Structure 1
Amino acid sequence: MESNEATVKRTADQVDGLNVNTKAVGGDQDASSSHIGPATKRVKLDTPPQLSHDGVSKPPRERIKGVAMIKEEYLIVPPSRSETVVEDRPIDDDAAEGRTAPVPQDSRDSRGQGGGKRKKQKGQNKEREFGTFSDAVKLCNSVAWTNEFSPRPCKHGERCNALHDIRKYLKEGRRADLDTLSGGCPVFATYGRCTSGWRCLYVKSHMEEVTREDGRTELVLVEKEDAVKPADDDEMDAKPGVVNNVPPQVKLNLSRKKVVMEKSEEYIKWLAVDTELIRTHYHKQKGDEDEAKDYRAQYVEPPFKPSEKRKVYFGRETPVLAPLTTQGNLPFRRLCVELGAQVTYSEMALGLPILQGQKTDWTLMRAHESEVTPPRFNPSGPAPLGYDNSKDVKFGVQIAASAPWIAIKATEALTTYLPHLRLIDINCGCPIDMVFKSGAGSALLDAPAKLDRMIRGMNAVSGEVPITAKIRMGVKDDKLTAQKLVERLALGSQDMRDQLGAPGCAAVTLHGRTRQQRYTRAANWTYIAECAALIKQFNEKKDELTDTIREVEENTLPNGGKMYFVGNGDCYSHVDYLDHVDNAKVDSVMIARGAIIKPWIFEEIEKGQYLDKSASERLTYIEKFARYGMEAWGSDELGINYTRRFLLEFLSFFTRYVPIGLLEHLPPNLNERPEAFRGRDDLETLLSSSNYKDWIKISEMFLGPAPTSFNFQPKHKSNSYEIEAEG
């Protein structure tokens, strides 16, 4: 198969010269000066009138709510007065922040009656099987990274069922080398050594057959003199350029409960007593004057105070990439950082599996070395007191927990074993049933006292790492609780404030939807703006509290008494971003689906203009994801098909992008569905396909043919997907 460069060139020749340069649309428009008033009532920008075939200008067609209007020359079906043909494309945006859960194969109906019919699977993000992808015959680890005549001792000895003959393995144990990416191993090309060893499907690019003095020929692995070694680990298969690698022995000790977290244990014991005192205080009978039931009279200070926290900063120049389950993997975050993302988060990890040492959740904590560089810092006002940008990093982690003891212990484990952390964020917004029903995620919105205890305990054991929270407006549409919750996170419980002080939450991110809404409505930026105004008042109120007789403990007031506030929801362009910062008055904006569909949104924000990316440029981003995936997961059979799986998940969003040059109206809207259209060339049409078979075809351009055992099941259901949908 030809290389990507040859593929793009051939495609370009077929379509009369593909323009690979970025086309700026809209010039250097200043969004802040173009809009006055609340974010939800912003003025929409329209493109200039089009020219008809006879050269006479004509106005754009009238905008239809919910429809991304396409210029007439790109429509598959010409528009008529009676109908607008909208692309029949199913959307499952819960996939952006969901977490899959295993469904028991023998699950019964909801009433638990044995022998009844199995309950039909419903809901979002059910477990999917991607098939198995491995070599035909396994190669033993004792020879996987060594030269042919220099194997390591095999711990299984004669009982080992794996191959020890490298030549036989290369001939019969796996498929032939791939010829994509010019036949060169991307890991070896970048780092001078390949971590997959003989299992690499590009091994011919970094192996030699050497003739020894005795006349024998030996197969040897080549390594460059300037080869990059792993950042945090000396394991043979550890990936270079990746940090926060936790040694296997640590995870094994956690699984065997051999890791003692002394600070957490001590704090949790105090917390149990304090929680009982609070329960007794709140449940005493009306008129009961018994001092034994009065919380203030019995209050005991915690065993230790939180350590002084490292200051964090969120500003206009620091757009934030949201924590995205499945989609927010290391290669995708690396791509976004390269395109201008200034703050990143891990995929959401569950607290209990972290404590149990489960490999899958600890793997989510890994970051690329580009994520541990300082974010851009150019504040328009005075620099925040005590903030040191040189010590800041981009990467933070997010966890979900259903009980304070889980959150507290998980926090101590993370801060103990992960050297590169900006902050730890507690998820209070995940709407997925598995998380909600366990008492975690958005269930915490209706349990403010529990969340308060979580954040206080996490602060107590996190060392210098700040603690933040991500919330939604509420659980139900008719009961919005975010404003009261924000006040509690900023100042503490009203009746316990004098005794306990502030919880110490360094920042709050508010997603402008309820759990009930999921993604069925537009984000409510008016409500976000109201909460942002409250935050400003609370930050000012903290200054007043410090003037009282009982001064608030300084270590309970992060960032010098300032709690940052970040908005989240439906940000799809630099116009949206700057509008929210200027009019909703948030410190920064967290971008989720907009970044998956259009990763260069961070570049648009930095430059302040629309960027009409050509099809070849977008194909280059796909190639980068493929390369970064092989660097993160390996260039062997397993690593390449892991990369393929996550690339296809990425493409399920990425192909939803409608090129700016095809739109009748600006700015584009994240929730608008396009009319059925064709691209400006064949490649652009392919990159806009909603058929998962085309996504697989795109992946094969860089990852080679998909194995027959590989089974990609899209999250959507439509006539073009001849399989069962997920939600």
Structure 2
Amino acid sequence: MAAAAGVAPVQARWVRGWGQRPRDPVRARPGPARSGPWGPLGGAGWERAAARGVIRASYLRCCFMECGSGTGDGSGSSRAVWGCRFVASRERFHAYLRASGEHRDDGEAEEEEEEAGSEQSEPPAKRGRLSEHGLGAESQEGVGEGEKVPAERKRARGQNKSRPCMKPNHYEKSRLCPSVTQGCTDKCYFGPRCRFLHDISEYMATKPADLGHSCVLFETFGKCIYGITCRFAKAHLGDGYRNIINTDLTKQWEGKSLVRNNLSKDLQHQLRKKKFSFKKADEYLRSLAKPHKNGGKGGKALGCSAEDLEASNCTMPQEGLGDTSECLVLPEEGGDPKQAALQSPVPIEGEGECPIKTAGLVTDEDIVKLRPREKKLEIEGKLYLAPLTTCGNLPFRRICKRFGADITCGEMAVCTNLLQGQSSEWALLKRHHTEDIFGVQLEGAFPDTMTKCAELLNQTIDVDFVDINVGCPIDLVYKKGGGCALMTRTNKFEQIVRGMNLVLDVPLTVKIRTGVQEKINVAHKIIPKLREWGASMVTLHGRSREQRYTRVADWHYIAECAKIASPMPLFGNGDILSFEDANQAMQMGVSGIMIARGALIKPWLFTEIKEQRHWDISSSERFDILKDFTNYGLEHWGSDTQGVEKTRKFLLEWLSFLCRYIPVGLLEHLPQKINERPPYYIGRDYLETLMASQNVDDWIKIRLA
């Protein structure tokens, strides 16, 4: 009976959405059955709780038998300890974590539960109204000598918005000059006005202590480019703070490009000085302005069609290749034809002939450009990792790619920031060499900026497709006419799709929602138009803008839209957290599925879908995933102070989703549902319990577990 006091049953209400706070659970106590949101706390109520698929029904049954409604034959006593180990109240859950996983006596747990229960059963004393400068006169008179004014309760949940905003470079007050880090002390980039340190001894005296004894960059590539500024510098520093280089490893990586789509200083200078030429985009925008000059209403994508403009531009020389037509040298086997075409143009000697002799199959892709309807993606039945803002960074995509993701896409990039040459925005376009099918997602509200940005990316980066974000629900984007607002601005939407499709050599895809308002779906009206405008694929999120993530995705509506979109492929998105969910989604007739929050909660979901099984992954395996993400982050953002802080930031962002995962071994009714919040539970080991906490302080302890 003592063990039952430490048991709190499953959530008293099915909470839709992770952001909402649950109701207080009905506390299990010995004695008569109590009423709750599920009715009397009898066997049916417990079974109904277990049917939600949150915690094992056997655990709930053993707890119920301990509450006085069991058979009385003692069969539940041996199982009650096992059940109490997993299902716990909030107080017992945090007490277990504070004790570092050490189990305390049942008597101590029972006393804590009784104290917490007595505090909740007694209503709090009424307090007088406070004045501006403290207690009012009436309230001060009512306070006795032995009574204390209750202290203001400190809020422990939510964002700490009063915290000062500190950029990563502010953590390091005394920074070393980049010229010293790169070994060019004679050539300082800032000259005599340089405000950084040039004395290595002075810098080392103020540098924080190293975080470890091994540097992932040095062990992987044989050289750490951050030198003495690395937070793991002891692993590769010799006498006189000399940076050690492993020549054998560096030769293996010599000439190999691991990350593509970097922003060069020359291109950034052209964008900032507005010297980059947008020939195709300007021609298309001039065609949109013709109705205004002729006295028409304008505003629609009139004039030449996309096919006509494609035909008129198919013989135009590329920028920087001269006025005459040219024959481009074919790249070497395995090379990138686009990069070779842009970097090594060879003019011909005579007109109408090419000096290169070819043998075998010769295509005409370099002469006759593909029409919009011919730009197709071979992605039927593949798993698509959604372009997740903030969390969908390159290290996270590498994790998902390792677990079986087929298609990856960069984070949402704002087109106006890309046109201005902002380094932070261009960093979202970077592509790792393991991402074989990769695209970028653009956000914008007007055809001029979106068309110019598409032409810019078409000439400067290597991608397999470009996606338009028409599903972003946030107010910052919606109020300026982008995101979901484009679904109500079909005129501008058409101009954007036609213009981008005109200037791109790769397929153009669109991601939309069911609509803006909750009960007014408009996606079925827009999808046929997108097919007509030249989109190669559409991804449909089964919720409207008003619903956000607080409702279940409407897959029946997605199935209707998939029939309307045919033969254009349509991918469905929403509420996929298991291979059963993926199988049900594919039965709706979609061409494939996009996975968003499910990949954040359990990135091994791609493996489960491909192998058609539930993976009861252990806490140590999940910890190895976090270590791999950390190594990928240090490799991507750097191992200096700024890179370490960025890696920590994005790791904590990801942990806010990872903590929502419920281990398969604790589930009786599979699978876990993405919109159901689990109760507090104690895992099979301390690390598993630590990973289930939603407290940031507990996430920091994970590295010490």
Cα offset for 1:664?
A: 2.0
Report the counterpart of residue 160 of structure 1 in structure 2.
Answer: 194
Distance 1:640 1:682, change over 3 A: same
Deviations 1:131-182 (A, max 9, x none): 2443241101111022xxx634113333322222223322x23112222xxx
Counterpart pick for 1:268 among 272, 285, 296: 285
Which amino acid counterpart does residue 568 of structure 1 have in structure 2? N
Cα offset for 1:78?
A: 4.2
Q: Are the aligned partners of 1:571 and 1:670 in contact in 2 as well (CA < 8 Å)?
A: yes
Q: Following superposition of structure 1 onto structure 2, how do residues 300-311 of structure 1 map, counting pairs within 5 Å?
A: 302=309, 304=312, 307-308=369-370, 311=376
Counterpart pick for 1:515 among 526, 545, 550: 545
Q: Are the aligned partners of 2:682 and 2:689 in contact in 1 as well (CA < 8 Å)?
A: yes
Equivalents in 2 of 1:523, 1:220: separation in Å? 54
Q: Following superposition of structure 1 onto structure 2, how do residues 296-375 of structure 1 map, counting pairs within 5 Å?
A: 302=309, 304=312, 307-308=369-370, 311-316=376-381, 318-371=382-435, 373=436
Report the counterpart of residue 466 of structure 2 in structure 1.
Answer: 424
Counterpart pick for 2:641 among 611, 633, 637: 637
Which amino acid counterpart does residue 452 of structure 2 have in structure 1? K
Deviations 1:551-585 (A, max 9, x none): xxxxxxxxxxxx2110000010111112211x211
Distance 1:584 1:140, change over 3 A: same
Tell whether 2:472 aligns with 1:439: no
Cα offset for 1:230?
A: 8.4
Q: Are the aligned partners of 1:74 and 1:662 in contact in 2 as well (CA < 8 Å)?
A: no
Report the counterpart of residue 143 of structure 1 in structure 2.
Answer: 180
Distance 1:416 1:482, change over 3 A: same
Distance 1:654 1:152, change over 3 A: farther
Counterpart pick for 2:166 among 124, 131, 139: 131
Report the counterpart of residue 584 of structure 1 in structure 2.
Answer: 588
Report the counterpart of residue 268 of structure 2 in structure 1.
Answer: 251
Equivalents in 1 of 2:486, 2:226: separation in Å? 43
Which amino acid counterpart does residue 319 of structure 1 have in structure 2? L
Equivalents in 1 of 2:297, 2:222: separation in Å? 65
Tell whether 2:674 aligns with 1:670: yes
Q: Are the aligned partners of 1:60 and 1:664 in contact in 2 as well (CA < 8 Å)?
A: no
Equivalents in 2 of 1:415, 1:228: separation in Å? 33
Equivalents in 2 of 1:249, 1:430: separation in Å? 32
Q: Are the aligned partners of 1:232 and 1:243 in contact in 2 as well (CA < 8 Å)?
A: no
Q: Secondary structure of 1:517's match? A: coil
Q: Are the aligned partners of 2:415 and 2:444 in contact in 1 as well (CA < 8 Å)?
A: yes
Distance 1:280 1:154, change over 3 A: closer
Which amino acid counterpart does residue 206 of structure 2 have in structure 1? G
Tell whether 2:224 aligns with 1:194: yes
Distance 1:626 1:274, change over 3 A: farther
Q: Are the aligned partners of 2:56 and 2:666 in contact in 1 as well (CA < 8 Å)?
A: yes
Q: Are the aligned partners of 2:413 and 2:425 in contact in 1 as well (CA < 8 Å)?
A: yes
Q: Are the aligned partners of 2:50 and 2:60 in contact in 1 as well (CA < 8 Å)?
A: no
Cα offset for 1:241?
A: 2.2
| TM-score, structure 2 as length reference | 0.68
Cα offset for 1:412?
A: 0.9
Q: Secondary structure of 1:580's match? A: helix
- Of the structure 1 ranges 161-170 and 674-683, higher mean CA displacement relative to structure 2 is found in 161-170
Counterpart pick for 1:225 among 221, 227, 248: 248
Cα offset for 1:653?
A: 0.2
Equivalents in 1 of 2:61, 2:269: separation in Å? 57
Q: Secondary structure of 2:297's match? A: helix
Cα offset for 1:256?
A: 2.1
Q: Are the aligned partners of 1:230 and 1:241 in contact in 2 as well (CA < 8 Å)?
A: no
Q: Secondary structure of 2:509's match? A: strand
Aligned residues: 519
Task: Name structure 2 gaps, 5 residues minimum.
Answer: 1-42, 70-86, 94-157, 315-368
Judging by fraction of residues, say which structure has more helix.
Answer: 2
Distance 1:220 1:190, change over 3 A: closer
Equivalents in 2 of 1:693, 1:75: separation in Å? 30
Distance 1:78 1:591, change over 3 A: same
Equivalents in 2 of 1:568, 1:505: separation in Å? 18
Report the counterpart of residue 630 of structure 2 in structure 1.
Answer: 626
Equivalents in 1 of 2:60, 2:527: separation in Å? 47
Which amino acid counterpart does residue 207 of structure 2 have in structure 1? R
Distance 1:199 1:76, change over 3 A: farther
Which amino acid counterpart does residue 256 of structure 1 have in structure 2? K
Equivalents in 1 of 2:465, 2:295: separation in Å? 29
Distance 1:415 1:592, change over 3 A: same
Q: Following superposition of structure 1 onto structure 2, how do residues 556-595 of structure 1 map, counting pairs within 5 Å?
A: 563-581=568-586, 583-595=587-599
Report the counterpart of residue 27 of structure 1 in structure 2.
Answer: none
Cα offset for 1:591?
A: 0.3
Distance 1:174 1:659, change over 3 A: same
Which amino acid counterpart does residue 178 of structure 2 have in structure 1? N
Q: Are the aligned partners of 1:208 and 1:222 in contact in 2 as well (CA < 8 Å)?
A: no
Q: Secondary structure of 1:510's match? A: strand
Q: Are the aligned partners of 1:66 and 1:672 in contact in 2 as well (CA < 8 Å)?
A: no
Which amino acid counterpart does residue 416 of structure 1 have in structure 2? Q
Q: Are the aligned partners of 1:72 and 1:78 in contact in 2 as well (CA < 8 Å)?
A: no
Cα offset for 1:200?
A: 0.6
Cα offset for 1:62?
A: 2.8
Cα offset for 1:60?
A: 12
Report the counterpart of residue 532 of structure 1 in structure 2.
Answer: 562
Distance 1:278 1:427, change over 3 A: farther
| TM-score, structure 1 as length reference | 0.66
Equivalents in 2 of 1:595, 1:128: separation in Å? 30
Q: Are the aligned partners of 1:67 and 1:86 in contact in 2 as well (CA < 8 Å)?
A: no
- Of the structure 1 ranges 622-631 and 304-313, higher mean CA displacement relative to structure 2 is found in 304-313
Tell whether 2:66 aligns with 1:62: no
Cα offset for 1:228?
A: 6.6
Q: Secondary structure of 1:442's match? A: helix
Q: Secondary structure of 1:344's match? A: strand
Equivalents in 2 of 1:74, 1:321: separation in Å? 36
Which amino acid counterpart does residue 395 of structure 1 have in structure 2? F
Cα offset for 1:206?
A: 1.4
Task: Name structure 1 gaps, 5 residues minimum.
Answer: 1-57, 90-122, 210-216, 234-239, 284-294, 374-393, 492-502, 540-562, 702-727
Q: Are the aligned partners of 1:187 and 1:193 in contact in 2 as well (CA < 8 Å)?
A: yes
Q: Are the aligned partners of 1:77 and 1:676 in contact in 2 as well (CA < 8 Å)?
A: no
Equivalents in 2 of 1:252, 1:363: separation in Å? 16
Q: Secondary structure of 1:320's match? A: strand
Aligned-residue CA RMSD (Å): 3.5
Distance 1:297 1:645, change over 3 A: closer
Report the counterpart of residue 455 of structure 2 in structure 1.
Answer: 412
Equivalents in 1 of 2:88, 2:704: separation in Å? 31
Deviations 1:460-498 (A, max 9, x none): 111x2110000000001232100010011113xxxxxxx
Q: Secondary structure of 2:680's match? A: coil
Equivalents in 2 of 1:472, 1:510: separation in Å? 6
Distance 1:173 1:76, change over 3 A: farther
Tell whether 2:541 aligns with 1:477: no
Q: Are the aligned partners of 1:68 and 1:672 in contact in 2 as well (CA < 8 Å)?
A: no
Equivalents in 2 of 1:400, 1:195: separation in Å? 34
Deviations 1:309-344 (A, max 9, x none): 65312222x111001000101100111001111101
Cα offset for 1:75?
A: 7.6
- Of the structure 1 ranges 618-627 and 188-197, higher mean CA displacement relative to structure 2 is found in 188-197
Which amino acid counterpart does residue 399 of structure 1 have in structure 2? L
Q: Secondary structure of 1:370's match? A: coil
Report the counterpart of residue 451 of structure 1 in structure 2.
Answer: 493
Which amino acid counterpart does residue 142 of structure 1 have in structure 2? S
Q: Secondary structure of 1:611's match? A: coil
Report the counterpart of residue 133 of structure 2 in structure 1.
Answer: none
Cα offset for 1:280?
A: 3.0
- Of the structure 1 ranges 301-310 and 644-653, higher mean CA displacement relative to structure 2 is found in 301-310
Distance 1:196 1:686, change over 3 A: same
Which amino acid counterpart does residue 259 of structure 2 have in structure 1? V
Cα offset for 1:435?
A: 0.4
